[in-house]
Structure 1
């Protein structure tokens, strides 16, 4: 959903920071970039400001601000923005460090004569300045290490999440670095007026995170009431939650903690809200933890659920648009919740083509469940694509016979490669206006 929101938001944010820096240059330089030292120092400031500004954005997004859901399309997109803002922040931080290392090279090549007297002074005590510089240097080293571990998918999540908890403290050290080394006069200029609230918001978010308050108001305790392992490598877990659960919309997900040391994992809620505070998860064995989940869970075991989150809801489709639902494997879970909700009033169910891709329909319990639910919903046309029988879903099979005037809303949940193939094929093979809705569950 809102697949372009992440890129647009990052471009707009960076543009705002660059514009504020550019608007502050006349005050800082007077006559413009007249010497090599001017270019050096402004490059140092710009890369540093961009890095700490993006880190501030990263810290705020890490608090899971649900008020951004309508703008960005759900918590999954917020975390996608959090991830890329962090990558860019570290990248600009590396550029900042490289520019700083160029100080001696410029001095050897051109000498110090062209350098303006006091151009690099911040008005702070030398001892504090030295400490700020040292903290900034070590901070970027640690940030690079954390980024590499985050991108290294083989690094165990249960260890990574503890290391990641150190990021708020690291951010506060970098705030100290930025606050003491930014030229004093800049705090009254556009760049300072933009940076000050960002640093304040990021610092408050960091303290909020360090205090363990992220998502605290959306957490509900409960217990496991049913565990069933299916032959397809899927574990069905039913949880009964306490009275604090406020319900959920079909298609939403939750952050689920079955074991305190393992931490929370995002799982889509595979059942509709029946008002009884009971939720069902269909969990695919995709890693070490989920592979052994059926043997590790017991009836009566406590569970902590945070949520619900997400905006994967067919009701957000454009009125009059043709709806196509595509699910692959365990990606069928939000559609199961949709179909369960439609059972309450079949006459109000939307008209949609539901395509389900499975490796072996004969042994897939979710395929059988889909058939049961769709049998009572005449407006939902189900087609199962069984790869065991050589059936493969292509964009040509999804293309409508006639181009709908209101376009096509395609709701997808499944592998990224299949999503890319279908999206590109639909956009190039048909003339229909396509709105492609897809959650981004790669939150690390």
Structure 2
């Protein structure tokens, strides 16, 4: 989120610099506040929307500085939400003129700048298109925040965002005060508009992720439990392998689109990947009935930095998985099985609701038996053995420097993180897979 805060901070500084150097213009205080509020809210809205558009292109170059594609998507999500909030503020400020007239009167309103010719025509068009686009953007914001709205419909609506962005970019470009373009605020805005517009065109032409797209065939489908589907795929030569712990966007049905799933197998050099898919929605709940061996599949990736190679050998390793969050650790263990002697000393904590019926428990026990450095702990909620921060601190009492790698429900992660901050006696780093498409 540092990138998002930095963009907003830079824009505020640039806007403040413009006010300091050129002033706020003529007019009484209520009208000046309205005018500057209109400019600032518009700048913040298009800036955060531009950032969201750029991040939607899945820029691999930013994975290292931002911590992985999961965090890039988290910044993308909040950039989009803030863009909608700033757009709402922009619209409300625009609609406030009648209120200010009734409270402070028309006198003191800054004089309207007159334009002629082509620029006047463009400004009129930009105003009308911007008003329409803002209404659509606000509707999208509401649907994004209402989690009960089906994802498959939200995804289809979300595909209009690049076109919507271009309308709003045109609105911003033609209605921005002319003096801005000779100031840092205008230069920053120009960079953001250019980046966002290029990203929108890439999206509209279907070029996002094309360089990392592989086609393949489903070779096996099974259901270890009613709510888990295991899918193995053989990909073409476009697939250049993956690192244990990474994920990919998988498309089984063109109408449904691609979904992100963690790769649950190590890279063996044969272009085979396995996914463990939890039934979390309408699509994944009926997935096993709609796919079969021999069916084609598209896989885009790999992405992510939840990688075994990033473990710090100087820190005690504590790996925690909740439910289907075990998938990256299955890939880790699968990779370590090829060279058990190279495995770090680590404690793997697997949290399950019912160990007796959980198919992963037996698999984990078999894998860990082959890797002497890994100690498996199974926490069975049905037997009141739920994992807590206090229990972790007790189990690892002697560790002064530790590293936690967590994959599982977000609420569980926050509970453990906050609890460990209070109870852990030494230095602790907490890594968490934070991927959310919506």
Q: TM-score, normalised by structure 1?
A: 0.94
Distance, in Å, in 1 between the alignment partners of 2:174 and 2:287 is 49
Distance, in Å, in 2 between the alignment partners of 1:190 and 1:403 is 54
Instruction: Point out the more displaced range, 149-158 or 394-403.
Output: 394-403
Distance, in Å, in 1 between the alignment partners of 2:110 and 2:354 is 73
CA contact (8 A) 2:28 2:109 kept: no
Given the alignment of the two structures, is residue 104 of structure 1 paired with residue 98 of structure 2, yes or no?
A: yes
Given the alignment of the two structures, is residue 178 of structure 1 paired with residue 169 of structure 2, yes or no?
A: no
CA contact (8 A) 2:26 2:110 kept: no
- Equivalent residues in 2 for 1:400-439 (5 A)? 401-405=396-400, 407-439=401-433
The offset of 1:32, in angstroms, is 9.0
SS at match of 1:408: strand
Distance, in Å, in 2 between the alignment partners of 1:96 and 1:149 is 20
The offset of 1:103, in angstroms, is 1.8
Q: How many residues align?
A: 436
User: Is there any run of 5+ residues in structure 1 with no aligned partner, and where?
Assistant: 1-5
- Equivalent residues in 2 for 1:355-434 (5 A)? 355-399=349-393, 401-405=396-400, 407-434=401-428
Cα deviation per residue 1:26-61 (whole Å; 9 max; x = unaligned)?
443278986432222111101111111111101101
Distance, in Å, in 1 between the alignment partners of 2:330 and 2:51 is 35
Aligned twin of 2:287: 293
Aligned twin of 1:151: 145
Distance, in Å, in 2 between the alignment partners of 1:232 and 1:75 is 30
Structure 1 residues 122, 168: closer, same or farther in 2, change over 3 A? Answer: farther
Distance, in Å, in 2 between the alignment partners of 1:421 and 1:114 is 54
Distance, in Å, in 1 between the alignment partners of 2:158 and 2:75 is 17
Structure 1 residues 35, 401: closer, same or farther in 2, change over 3 A? Answer: closer
SS at match of 1:230: strand
Given the alignment of the two structures, is residue 240 of structure 1 paired with residue 237 of structure 2, yes or no?
A: no
Aligned twin of 2:314: 320
CA contact (8 A) 1:122 1:180 kept: no
Structure 1 residues 350, 225: closer, same or farther in 2, change over 3 A? Answer: same
Aligned twin of 2:202: 208
Cα deviation per residue 1:277-329 (whole Å; 9 max; x = unaligned)?
00001111111111111111111000000000100013223341111001121
Instruction: Point out the more displaced range, 120-129 or 196-205.
Output: 120-129
Structure 1 residues 122, 183: closer, same or farther in 2, change over 3 A? Answer: farther
Distance, in Å, in 1 between the alignment partners of 2:6 and 2:25 is 28
Distance, in Å, in 2 between the alignment partners of 1:401 and 1:362 is 26
The offset of 1:152, in angstroms, is 2.2
Aligned twin of 1:44: 38
CA contact (8 A) 1:222 1:242 kept: yes
CA contact (8 A) 1:122 1:182 kept: no
Structure 1 residues 434, 387: closer, same or farther in 2, change over 3 A? Answer: same
Given the alignment of the two structures, is residue 56 of structure 1 paired with residue 50 of structure 2, yes or no?
A: yes
Distance, in Å, in 1 between the alignment partners of 2:16 and 2:166 is 26
Cα deviation per residue 1:361-407 (whole Å; 9 max; x = unaligned)?
222221111011100111101011122222211112212544544x2
Distance, in Å, in 2 between the alignment partners of 1:304 and 1:58 is 25
SS at match of 1:354: strand
Distance, in Å, in 2 between the alignment partners of 1:275 and 1:380 is 24
Distance, in Å, in 2 between the alignment partners of 1:9 and 1:267 is 25
User: Is there any run of 5+ residues in structure 2 with no aligned partner, and where?
Assistant: none
CA contact (8 A) 2:28 2:108 kept: no
SS at match of 1:223: strand
Distance, in Å, in 2 between the alignment partners of 1:422 and 1:33 is 54
Cα deviation per residue 1:96-149 (whole Å; 9 max; x = unaligned)?
11111112222343333323334x556664443232222222211100111111
The offset of 1:93, in angstroms, is 0.8
The offset of 1:240, in angstroms, is 0.4
Structure 1 residues 279, 30: closer, same or farther in 2, change over 3 A? Answer: closer
Distance, in Å, in 2 between the alignment partners of 1:352 and 1:33 is 67
Aligned twin of 1:221: 215
The offset of 1:163, in angstroms, is 1.0
Distance, in Å, in 2 between the alignment partners of 1:40 and 1:101 is 10
CA contact (8 A) 1:50 1:92 kept: yes
Distance, in Å, in 2 between the alignment partners of 1:440 and 1:401 is 25
Structure 1 residues 390, 404: closer, same or farther in 2, change over 3 A? Answer: closer
Structure 1 residues 73, 275: closer, same or farther in 2, change over 3 A? Answer: same
Q: Which residue, 298, 302, 305 being the options, matches 1:311?
A: 305
Q: CA RMSD in A?
A: 1.8
Distance, in Å, in 2 between the alignment partners of 1:418 and 1:125 is 55
Distance, in Å, in 1 between the alignment partners of 2:135 and 2:398 is 54
